[in-house]
Structure formats: C-alpha cells, structure tokens
Amino acid sequence: DQQVKQNSPSLSVQEGRISILNCDYTNSMFDYFLWYKKYPAEGPTFLISISSIKDKNEDGRFTVFLNKSAKHLSLHIVPSQPGDSAVYFCAASAISNDMRFGAGTRLTVKP
Amino acid sequence: NAGVTQTPKFQVLKTGQSMTLQCAQDMNHEYMSWYRQDPGMGLRLIHYSVGAGITDQGEVPNGYNVSRSTTEDFPLRLLSAAPSQTSVYFCASTKTSGSSYEQYFGPGTRLTVT
C-alpha cells in the first residue's frame, strides 16, 4: 500500500526554466511533508518541508505547495540549474519519525 | 562534526549469514531510523528509535533487529540474511525543533545477499 506516490519517474527541463515535481498522498493523517534530493551513491539530503497548517513554504529557489483537499504537494525550483539534476523524493509523516517516501522523480536540467 | 556515519559501505553475504550494520551520529539527536531503498521504490522504514532504550517497528521490520543503548549509536542486525534483503540501507538521524524536524542521512550501505 503505497501511501505516497510520485507518478512521474523522470522530468527534463531547460536551465533557467521552472521545474515542478509532484507528489500525491492517500493518508489524511499525514501532517508533515518533506522533500529530499539524492545524488548517486549518497544518502538523501533534506531540501525543504511544510507543515499541514500551511499551504506554502519558500526557501531560496525552492518552494513547496500543499493542497490538502487534493492530497497533493509540489516542489517548484526556479530557476533550474544543471546542479539540480538528481532524484527528488517526497516524504510524509503522521507521527514524528515514521516517514513514508515516494518512489522518486529523476530531474535532469539541460544546459 | 561528522554527521551520520555508516559502516561498512559495501557488504556481500551468503544466505543464512548474520551481520550488523553500524550507524553513528554526533549531533545528539534523539530520533534515529533505518531505511532500505530498492530499485524503483522509495525509502522504506525498517525500524526507528525515539531515544536510548526505545525502539519501534517501521513499515518493513521482518528479518531485522535493532537496539539503542546510547544516543549516538543505532546498529541494525540481520539475523539470517536472505536474498530479499539485498538493498541499499540508509541510517538517518532527526533534528526536532518545535513542530518541525529535519532528517540527516548517512551515505548508505550497499548489501548483496547471494
């Protein structure tokens, strides 16, 4: 039972344009959402998070949007840079430290 | 400040062998957890700990044991390895701040069971 889904396995964008990565979830008890970035042969790196009491959180080039009624969140990267090329995971938690992850989206930013 | 360290980086086991994957953090975090990542899947939680002496099961705990005798260390034990346990294992340490938290991951251990 996959409670967190990233339906796009890959995404390719041009440098300087916006990257939008999407994530859907099924468990309405999730109250905290996170995005991670992962390079090959490394552990995931925390990017940005959002609590269910908010609908938007920004950190530099990264913005996460949460639509609770649709059980959907998205990560916007503006402007996209070649160094952003990686696999991005979304994750959700109903209680602290019991995290469920999506399968990941591989982002390629072309120069 | 080394963050989260994991040893070994690579390991090959034969079916039925046992081993312990080591994980340590130097950030004084109470929460630690173990995940496995398989091709085409996200990370799945195996076990977690909310403090020394306290552990709990995650999504896929079968075949694994954990203990937490100190804040710093959280080893994961495979009692009798099976080919289905071939995976990449990540340990994580969680910083909590009010209602928010951030997880820091180790570099991973790539395990192959033949």
Minimum Cα–Cα distance from A106: chain B residue: B40
C-alpha gyration radius of chain A: 13
Q: What is the pLDDT of residue A97?
A: 59
Could you write out the DSSP letters of every residue in A47-69? EEEEETT-SEEEETTEEEEEETT
Q: B13 or A96: which carries more pLDDT confidence?
A: B13
**What pLDDT does residue A94 have?**
81
| CB neighbour list of residue B14: distance below 8 Å, 6 or more residues apart | B81, B113, B114
Query: Is there a contact between A23 and A6 (Cβ–Cβ < 8 Å)?
Result: yes
Residues 6+ apart with CB under 8 A from A24: A4, A5, A6, A7, A70, A71, A72
Q: Inform me whether the pLDDT recorded for A75 exceeds 90.
A: yes
Mutation for A interface: B25, B43, B45, most A CBs within 10 A: B43
Whether A69 and chain B come into contact, CB under 8 Å, resolves to no
- How far off is chain A from B9, nearest CA to CA, in Å? 10
| CA distance to partner chain B, nearest, from residue A76 (Å) | 19
Residues 6+ apart with CB under 8 A from A12: A107, A108, A109, A110
Both tokens of A104, joined, read: 């990941």
Is the Cβ pair B58, A96 closer than 8 Å? no
Distance from CA of B18 to the nearest CA of A (A): 24
In the predicted model, is pLDDT for residue A83 greater than 80? Answer: yes
Question: Which chain A residues have a beta carbon less than 8 Å from that of B90?
Answer: 43-44
| Residue B103: both structure tokens together | 């997880």
Each residue's pLDDT, cut to its tens digit, for chain B (114 residues) gives 679 999 999 999 999 999 999 999 999 999 999 999 998 788 999 999 989 999 999 989 999 999 999 999 999 999 999 999 999 999 999 887 776 778 899 999 999 999
Length of chain A: 111
Cα–Cα dist B112/B96, whole Å: 33
